[in-house]
Chains A and B, each alone.
Chain A
Amino acid sequence: MEEDDFNPEVVKRFMFVNRKAPYGTVYALESLETVLISAAFDQDVSVVFADDGVFQLKKGQDTPGINMKNFSPTFRALDGYDVEKLYVEKESLEARGLTEDDLLVDVEVLSSKELSKIMAAQDVVISN
């Protein structure tokens, strides 16, 4: 037990699973808002990007042409909220012709197999 936990009795593993691309639908943006709020509860938070969700982290997003807010810089701010576990599924990246260099924030790239083990150990999974 860590002594500096705000409420040491209840620390659950929360995983946010992002499988949708940004801008085409609102899910990516509103999911990010949930992640930010969860940071205030001192839980064990991780965020997964799989399938088209990996596009949320693509470098160089430039949105004025569609008159929408570019929320991608917020992913770089997650570290400041102590949300440090960002997992990206390797197979999803590869299927989209992306590499880690295309991503705008430091992440841990995991194989499906590795990721599935971490997923299976969660207490709460929130997907959008």
Chain B
Amino acid sequence: MLHTVNKSPLERNTLESCLRLAAKGSAILLIEDGVYGALAAGQAAKEIGKRKADLKFYALGPDLAARGLSESPLVDGIEIVDYEGFVDLAAEYEAHQAWL
């Protein structure tokens, strides 16, 4: 399963719920305001770190750039993808779940 999270973890519990319910072997792509969750200095970094062994984490580059975060340190292991990379992930995983 490819999960997308589009909310800042400081505003909503979306990322927290996704991390609770994403099964081992799935991927989480942070998009839109969800990219704030990718910041190494952010509060969500610890929770992401706890699941790094069994989930893959990605953040959408154009959304990071739009928010002035291109140069900001991200949580270790988060890979940056563009929209084509998003498409590749959606094709690679058998289903998509949007956490809204």
Bound Cα distance from A124 to B22, whole angstroms: 15
Cα A122 to Cα B1 in complex, Å, equals 8
Interchain nearest-CB distance for A39 vs B (Å)? 20
B interface majority secondary structure: loop
Tell me whether A51 and B17 are in contact (CB under 8 A): yes
A91–B1 Cα distance when bound, in Å, is: 22
A127 contacts the other chain (CB 8 A): yes
**Are A119 and B23 neighbours in the complex by a CB distance under 8 Å?**
yes
Judge whether A125 and B23 touch: CB under 8 Å: no
Interface: A28 (CB within 8 A): no
A117 at the interface (CB under 8 A from B): yes
Number of interface residues of B (CB under 8 A): 16
Asked if B41 CB lies within 8 Å of chain A CBs, one says: no
Please tell me if the beta carbons of A120 and B26 are within 8 angstroms of each other in the complex: yes
- Best-buried of A120, A124, A127, A128 by chain B (most CB within 10 Å): A120
- B14–chain A nearest beta-carbon distance, Å: 8
A-B contact pairs, 22 of them (CB 8 A): A17-B97, A19-B100, A50-B21, A51-B17, A112-B20, A115-B21, A116-B20, A116-B21, A116-B22, A116-B23, A117-B23, A119-B21, A119-B23, A119-B97, A120-B23, A120-B26, A122-B1, A122-B95, A123-B94, A127-B97, A127-B98, A127-B99
